[in-house]
Chains A and B, each alone.
Chain A
Amino acid sequence: MSGNAALRFAPGDRVRIIDLGKPGHVRTPTYAREKVGIIDRYCGEFENPEERAYGRVGRERIPLYRVRLMQCDLWPDYQGGSADTLVLEIYHHWLRPA
Protein backbone atom coordinates (compact mmCIF):
# COMPACT_ATOMS: atom_id res chain seq x y z
CA MET A 1 0.00 0.00 0.00
CA SER A 2 3.02 2.30 0.28
CA GLY A 3 2.70 4.19 -3.01
CA ASN A 4 -0.97 5.06 -2.62
CA ALA A 5 -1.15 5.77 1.10
CA ALA A 6 -0.39 9.48 0.69
CA LEU A 7 -3.36 9.94 -1.60
CA ARG A 8 -6.23 8.77 0.61
CA PHE A 9 -9.61 10.33 -0.01
CA ALA A 10 -12.22 11.13 2.65
CA PRO A 11 -16.01 11.30 2.31
CA GLY A 12 -16.98 14.62 0.74
CA ASP A 13 -13.74 15.03 -1.25
CA ARG A 14 -14.21 16.09 -4.87
CA VAL A 15 -12.55 13.65 -7.26
CA ARG A 16 -12.16 13.22 -10.98
CA ILE A 17 -12.48 9.73 -12.42
CA ILE A 18 -9.63 9.60 -14.91
CA ASP A 19 -9.26 7.62 -18.12
CA LEU A 20 -6.22 5.39 -17.71
CA GLY A 21 -6.55 4.19 -21.31
CA LYS A 22 -5.65 0.79 -20.01
CA PRO A 23 -6.29 -2.25 -22.22
CA GLY A 24 -7.59 -5.53 -20.79
CA HIS A 25 -10.09 -6.05 -17.99
CA VAL A 26 -10.97 -2.81 -16.21
CA ARG A 27 -14.05 -1.96 -14.17
CA THR A 28 -14.36 1.81 -14.65
CA PRO A 29 -17.14 2.39 -17.18
CA THR A 30 -16.39 4.67 -20.12
CA TYR A 31 -19.36 6.92 -19.40
CA ALA A 32 -17.93 7.86 -15.98
CA ARG A 33 -14.41 8.73 -17.15
CA GLU A 34 -13.32 12.36 -16.95
CA LYS A 35 -16.35 13.07 -14.74
CA VAL A 36 -16.17 14.76 -11.35
CA GLY A 37 -17.95 13.43 -8.27
CA ILE A 38 -17.82 13.32 -4.50
CA ILE A 39 -16.39 10.52 -2.35
CA ASP A 40 -19.41 8.87 -0.71
CA ARG A 41 -17.52 6.35 1.39
CA TYR A 42 -14.38 4.26 1.59
CA CYS A 43 -15.20 0.59 0.98
CA GLY A 44 -11.97 -1.06 2.15
CA GLU A 45 -8.98 -2.50 0.36
CA PHE A 46 -9.22 -5.23 -2.24
CA GLU A 47 -6.95 -6.96 -4.68
CA ASN A 48 -6.89 -5.18 -8.03
CA PRO A 49 -9.34 -6.88 -10.43
CA GLU A 50 -7.11 -5.71 -13.29
CA GLU A 51 -4.46 -8.10 -11.92
CA ARG A 52 -6.79 -10.86 -10.75
CA ALA A 53 -8.33 -11.03 -14.23
CA TYR A 54 -5.05 -12.54 -15.46
CA GLY A 55 -4.64 -14.99 -12.59
CA ARG A 56 -2.35 -12.75 -10.55
CA VAL A 57 -3.94 -13.29 -7.15
CA GLY A 58 -2.70 -12.56 -3.64
CA ARG A 59 -1.04 -9.29 -4.60
CA GLU A 60 -1.28 -5.76 -3.21
CA ARG A 61 -4.66 -4.62 -1.92
CA ILE A 62 -5.80 -1.20 -3.08
CA PRO A 63 -8.44 1.18 -1.73
CA LEU A 64 -11.93 1.12 -3.25
CA TYR A 65 -14.32 4.05 -2.93
CA ARG A 66 -17.96 4.80 -3.65
CA VAL A 67 -18.09 7.93 -5.79
CA ARG A 68 -21.35 9.88 -6.10
CA LEU A 69 -21.92 11.58 -9.46
CA MET A 70 -24.73 13.85 -10.63
CA GLN A 71 -26.85 12.11 -13.27
CA CYS A 72 -27.07 15.39 -15.22
CA ASP A 73 -23.25 15.47 -15.40
CA LEU A 74 -23.20 11.96 -16.87
CA TRP A 75 -25.96 12.29 -19.46
CA PRO A 76 -26.39 15.52 -21.46
CA ASP A 77 -30.02 14.62 -22.26
CA TYR A 78 -30.95 13.43 -18.75
CA GLN A 79 -34.71 13.85 -18.18
CA GLY A 80 -34.88 12.99 -14.45
CA GLY A 81 -34.60 15.21 -11.39
CA SER A 82 -31.72 17.68 -11.19
CA ALA A 83 -30.72 16.24 -7.78
CA ASP A 84 -30.51 12.62 -9.03
CA THR A 85 -27.19 10.92 -8.42
CA LEU A 86 -25.43 7.69 -9.33
CA VAL A 87 -22.96 5.91 -7.04
CA LEU A 88 -20.15 3.89 -8.59
CA GLU A 89 -17.43 1.83 -6.94
CA ILE A 90 -14.09 3.04 -8.28
CA TYR A 91 -10.59 1.90 -7.38
CA HIS A 92 -8.12 4.44 -6.01
CA HIS A 93 -5.81 4.54 -9.03
CA TRP A 94 -8.65 5.80 -11.26
CA LEU A 95 -9.21 8.85 -9.02
CA ARG A 96 -7.53 12.25 -8.75
CA PRO A 97 -8.37 15.20 -6.51
CA ALA A 98 -10.65 17.68 -8.30
Chain B
Amino acid sequence: MVERLITDIGGLPAGAVPREEVAQLFWEKHMMAMFNVLRDKGVLNLDEFRRAVEAMPADAYRRSSFYGRRLDAIADLLVEKGLIDRRELAARTDEIVRAGTRDHVR
Protein backbone atom coordinates (compact mmCIF):
# COMPACT_ATOMS: atom_id res chain seq x y z
CA MET B 1 0.00 0.00 0.00
CA VAL B 2 1.55 3.21 -1.17
CA GLU B 3 1.09 6.10 1.25
CA ARG B 4 -1.36 8.75 0.06
CA LEU B 5 0.36 11.97 -1.03
CA ILE B 6 -0.17 14.94 1.27
CA THR B 7 -1.72 16.83 -1.65
CA ASP B 8 -4.14 13.97 -2.41
CA ILE B 9 -6.89 15.11 -0.05
CA GLY B 10 -10.05 14.78 -2.18
CA GLY B 11 -12.84 13.40 -0.01
CA LEU B 12 -11.01 13.75 3.31
CA PRO B 13 -12.59 15.87 6.10
CA ALA B 14 -11.26 19.42 5.78
CA GLY B 15 -13.68 21.83 7.46
CA ALA B 16 -14.84 25.08 5.90
CA VAL B 17 -12.93 26.59 2.99
CA PRO B 18 -12.03 30.27 3.60
CA ARG B 19 -13.45 32.30 0.70
CA GLU B 20 -12.02 35.76 1.32
CA GLU B 21 -9.35 37.29 -0.90
CA VAL B 22 -5.86 37.50 0.64
CA ALA B 23 -3.54 40.24 -0.60
CA GLN B 24 -0.18 39.06 -1.93
CA LEU B 25 2.93 40.16 -0.05
CA PHE B 26 5.91 41.54 -1.95
CA TRP B 27 8.08 38.47 -1.39
CA GLU B 28 5.28 36.24 -2.63
CA LYS B 29 5.07 38.12 -5.94
CA HIS B 30 8.85 38.18 -6.19
CA MET B 31 9.08 34.47 -5.52
CA MET B 32 6.41 33.64 -8.13
CA ALA B 33 8.35 35.70 -10.68
CA MET B 34 11.51 33.77 -9.75
CA PHE B 35 9.64 30.48 -10.13
CA ASN B 36 8.38 31.47 -13.59
CA VAL B 37 11.89 32.46 -14.73
CA LEU B 38 13.39 29.20 -13.44
CA ARG B 39 10.65 27.21 -15.20
CA ASP B 40 10.89 29.14 -18.49
CA LYS B 41 14.67 28.72 -18.53
CA GLY B 42 14.24 24.96 -18.00
CA VAL B 43 16.02 24.92 -14.63
CA LEU B 44 13.02 23.20 -13.06
CA ASN B 45 9.59 22.06 -14.20
CA LEU B 46 6.10 22.13 -12.69
CA ASP B 47 6.04 18.40 -12.01
CA GLU B 48 9.36 18.58 -10.14
CA PHE B 49 7.95 21.43 -8.10
CA ARG B 50 4.87 19.36 -7.20
CA ARG B 51 7.06 16.38 -6.31
CA ALA B 52 9.25 18.58 -4.07
CA VAL B 53 6.16 19.93 -2.26
CA GLU B 54 4.84 16.39 -1.76
CA ALA B 55 8.19 15.37 -0.28
CA MET B 56 7.86 17.90 2.54
CA PRO B 57 7.33 16.41 6.03
CA ALA B 58 3.57 16.46 6.78
CA ASP B 59 3.80 18.85 9.75
CA ALA B 60 6.00 21.31 7.83
CA TYR B 61 3.56 21.15 4.90
CA ARG B 62 0.60 21.95 7.15
CA ARG B 63 2.36 24.76 9.02
CA SER B 64 3.42 26.44 5.78
CA SER B 65 1.37 28.35 3.21
CA PHE B 66 0.80 28.14 -0.55
CA TYR B 67 3.69 30.53 -1.17
CA GLY B 68 5.85 29.23 1.68
CA ARG B 69 5.68 25.69 0.30
CA ARG B 70 6.57 26.97 -3.17
CA LEU B 71 9.57 28.88 -1.84
CA ASP B 72 10.84 25.85 0.10
CA ALA B 73 10.32 23.59 -2.91
CA ILE B 74 12.32 25.94 -5.16
CA ALA B 75 15.18 25.98 -2.63
CA ASP B 76 15.08 22.18 -2.27
CA LEU B 77 15.18 21.67 -6.05
CA LEU B 78 18.04 24.14 -6.56
CA VAL B 79 20.02 22.39 -3.80
CA GLU B 80 19.19 18.98 -5.30
CA LYS B 81 20.45 20.17 -8.70
CA GLY B 82 23.65 21.49 -7.15
CA LEU B 83 22.93 25.08 -8.20
CA ILE B 84 22.96 26.51 -4.68
CA ASP B 85 24.44 25.37 -1.41
CA ARG B 86 22.18 25.01 1.60
CA ARG B 87 24.68 26.68 3.98
CA GLU B 88 25.12 29.59 1.58
CA LEU B 89 21.36 29.98 1.37
CA ALA B 90 21.02 29.89 5.17
CA ALA B 91 23.81 32.47 5.62
CA ARG B 92 22.26 34.81 3.05
CA THR B 93 18.80 34.38 4.61
CA ASP B 94 20.21 35.25 8.07
CA GLU B 95 21.87 38.33 6.58
CA ILE B 96 18.58 39.54 5.08
CA VAL B 97 16.61 38.86 8.25
CA ARG B 98 19.22 40.77 10.33
CA ALA B 99 19.05 43.72 7.95
CA GLY B 100 15.27 43.84 8.42
CA THR B 101 12.74 42.98 5.75
CA ARG B 102 9.70 44.83 4.51
CA ASP B 103 6.98 42.29 4.67
CA HIS B 104 7.94 38.75 5.50
CA VAL B 105 5.06 38.54 8.00
CA ARG B 106 1.44 39.34 7.38
Contacts and interface: CB of A to CB of B under 8 A. Distances in A.
Query: Do A and B actually bind?
Result: yes
Contacts of A49: 47, 50
B45 A57 contact: yes
Contacts of A55: 45, 48, 81
Interface in A49-73: 49-50, 52-55, 57
Query: What is the predominant secondary structure among interface residues of chain B facing chain A?
Result: loop
Nearest to A57: B45
Contacts of A29: 8, 10
Interface in A6-64: 21-26, 29-32, 49-50, 52-55, 57
B28 interface: no
Contacts of A25: 5, 47, 50-51, 54
B47 A52 contact: yes
A94 to B, nearest CB: 14
Given A29-B8, A52-B45, A57-B45, A24 B51 contact: yes
Which of B3, B8, B11, B47 lies at the interface centre, i.e. has the most chain A CB atoms within 10 A of its CB? B47
Which of A24, A25, A30, A31 lies at the interface centre, i.e. has the most chain B CB atoms within 10 A of its CB? A25
Interface residues of A, number: 19
Contacts of A57: 42, 45
B1 interface: yes
Given A29-B8, A53-B50, 15 more contacts: A21-B1, A23-B2, A25-B5, A25-B54, A30-B4, A30-B8, A30-B10, A31-B11, A49-B50, A50-B47, A53-B47, A53-B51, A54-B48, A55-B48, A55-B81
Which 9 A-B residue pairs are closest in the complex by CB-CB distance?
A53-B51, A25-B51, A52-B47, A53-B47, A49-B47, A31-B11, A31-B10, A29-B10, A23-B2
Interface of B: 1-5, 8, 10-11, 42, 45-48, 50-51, 54, 81
